[in-house]
Amino acid sequence: MSETHAIDSLSQRLADSGLRATPQREVVYNVLLKKRDHPTADEVFARVKTELPTISLATVYNCLETLVQCNLVRAVNFERSPTRYCPNLQPHAHFHDEQTGRTFDIDLPPEVLNQVNTVLPHGFDASSVEITFRGKASSSPS
Amino acid sequence: MSETHAIDSLSQRLADSGLRATPQREVVYNVLLKKRDHPTADEVFARVKTELPTISLATVYNCLETLVQCNLVRAVNFERSPTRYCPNLQPHAHFHDEQTGRTFDIDLPPEVLNQVNTVLPHGFDASSVEITFRGKASSSPS
DNA sequence: GTAGAATTTGGAATTATTCTAATTCCTACT
DNA sequence: AGTAGGAATTAGAATAATTCCAAATTCTAC
């Protein structure tokens, strides 16, 4: 996928959501496409500034959020909300209810855990896995 | 598992790591065992204060970190480090190299994704799943 | 009992992010 | 072409979560 192509799809996506394709948004998106090392907002800010020296950090945050909303970018460590603690040491996943903010433990059968571990290529040695669902919990146990 | 029992295992675990069993650590741990709703550090602080009114927030953070290190507690939203962004929209997991701090995309075959989704009980409607490995990446591509 | 280490404390500092209000930029309409 | 009104950007202040620090306290071992 050429960069220009990608930018076209950016304009398209933005337009679909009734948003404008601005230079800032384009440069932010390009920066993400060019070096796919999961940069932080600060790192994006630094890279974008070489092309748009007057851009502000707030704009970078705005653009990133816009791109996430348009489904062009994923935020990897969501949850700027505080770290949560749980004493359940059995292998389990978490379900985060987006409406209530509550977090539920979801039992994780060994065979599922095993299969998940098979996706790691040679050379990746995982000491832990975290599986987090997000969505709506309709019937809510305790 | 009775509470007393749990506290015994707490002393044990702490001792194993050459750490002391203090009232603060015990109360923090008990608070986590008593109400398993994945509280934040602030919430733990509030609950602990009813029993130890003079405890400080810094101590709560210290105790929580100690408990996590002793493998008695899991931190659910690790990563107090900044949110990271990636333009890869294919279903994929992430591998976080604890030594270098780098994050790698790990391809996620549909059948694995499907199996992961089967763990959700009735009433949980997930709009997204996040799978994050942590560990050591020995051979490191790109 | 006392030295030395571990722990706790309160407050300051830091970090990531969001808010705010003012300005600039577009777009659509005349 | 000129302008009203909304969208986007900007800089800096504000906030929230967490960590740091230095002093006081508490243990533990001798």
Please write the tens of the pLDDT for every residue from B49-108: 999 999 999 999 999 889 888 888 877 764 545 565 666 667 788 887 767 767 788 888
- Give residues with Cβ within 8 angstroms of A132, minimum separation 6: A93, A94, A95, A96, B129, B130, B132
- Percentage of chain B lying above the pLDDT 90 cut: 32
Tell me if chain B has a CB within 8 Å of the CB of A87: yes
The β-bridge relationship of strands B92-97 and A74-75 is unpaired
Instruction: Please name the CATH architecture into which domain A79-142 falls.
Output: 2-Layer Sandwich (3.30)
Whether B123 contacts A105, CB under 8 Å: no
DSSP structure string for B24-59: HHHHHHHHHHH--S--BHHHHHHHHHHH-TT--HHH
CA distance A3 to chain B (A): 13
Contact (CB<8Å) B68/A85: yes
The pLDDT, as a whole number, for residue A84 is 59
The pLDDT, as a whole number, for residue A119 is 94
Q: Is the pLDDT of residue B2 over 50?
A: no
Residues paired with B18 in a beta bridge? none
Tell me how far apart the alpha carbons of residues A41 and B132 are, in angstroms, rounded to a whole number. 20
Domain ranges of chain B: 3-69, 92-135
The pLDDT, as a whole number, for residue A88 is 61
What residue ranges of chain A have pLDDT lower than 50? 1-2, 78, 80, 140, 142
Whether A29 contacts B87, CB under 8 Å: yes
Nearest to A38 by CA among B135, B88, B62: B88
Tell me if chain A has a CB within 8 Å of the CB of B110: no
Q: What is the ipTM of this complex?
A: 0.71
Interface of B with A in 45-74 (CB under 8 A): 64, 67-68, 71-74
The pLDDT, as a whole number, for residue B142 is 46
Instruction: Please name the CATH architecture into which domain A3-69 falls.
Output: Orthogonal Bundle (1.10)
Residues paired with B134 in a beta bridge? A128, B96
Q: Is the dihedral of CA A84, A88, A94, A95 positive or negative?
A: negative
Helices (H), B52-133: 57-69, 110-117
Q: In the structure, what pLDDT confidence band is assigned to residue B7 with cuts at 50, 70 and 90?
A: low
